Amino acid sequence: MAQDRVEAVERALTVLEVFDSPRDAFALAELAEATGFYKSTLLRLLGSLARFDYVQRGEDGRWRLGGSPARLARRHGPSRHLAARVQPWLDRLAAETGETAALLTTHSGEAECRLAALPEASLRHDLRPGSRWPVERDDDPRPLLPGGSMACVALPTGPEELPLWLSLSGPAGRLSTDMARRALETARAALDDDPRTEEP
């Protein structure tokens, strides 16, 4: 109904709809053409969307989706399904290796811990779901860990999905890289072979 409409919100959503496109970025003029909005109106809308990280402006002046749409999308059913199948393996990895096991993802130069299992050891990498850190490359989620180390293996994902990694981390030298990688490869292979790992 008309009284339920908020025009400014609908305009902002109209802007976001433009990004449902194979293109990664848009110039302001292209957004104006796609939405029919004046550039001055668009700049105000984009400024508000950028403050909440729904869009980002690159150094080239073009606008791209920010991290918030992907973050919200991860709250849906497939993410809960992912947690149900991966968390038991993280718990097992942490118990068997004595190191912190985690599921990581990257997006737009930032890594995020999606799931984690902590070992009983008091000296450990205290990594929690929701923890974030900057990364130089989206194909390497490892943070700088002074006095520590992290090993990762990538999980298979679809072309439209964010990359995912299983990881083991802890004090340097306590778990060799080879042992960590073997443990992670075993977990990845088991997840690949488990029919329950198919997304609904």
pLDDT at 183 over 90: yes
> In this predicted structure, what is the pLDDT of residue 28?
96
Q: What is the pLDDT of residue 197?
A: 42
Under 8 Å between Cβ of 61 and 68: no
pLDDT given for residue 200 in this prediction: 34
Question: What are the tens digits of pLDDT across the range 3-29?
Answer: 667 999 999 999 999 998 878 899 999
Please provide residue 47's backbone torsions phi and psi, each rounded to the nearest 5 degrees.
-60, -45
pLDDT tens profile 116-172 = 999 998 899 999 888 889 998 888 999 988 899 999 999 988 776 788 999 999 998
pLDDT digits (tens, 9 = 90+) for 53-86: 999 999 999 999 988 887 776 555 446 677 888 9
Instruction: Give the pLDDT of residue 138.
Output: 83
CA–CA distance, 7 with 20 (Å, rounded to integer)? 21
3-state secondary structure string across 33-96: HHHCCCHHHHHHHHHHHHHCCCEEECCCCCEEECCHHHHHHCCCHHHHHHHHHHHHHHHHHHHH
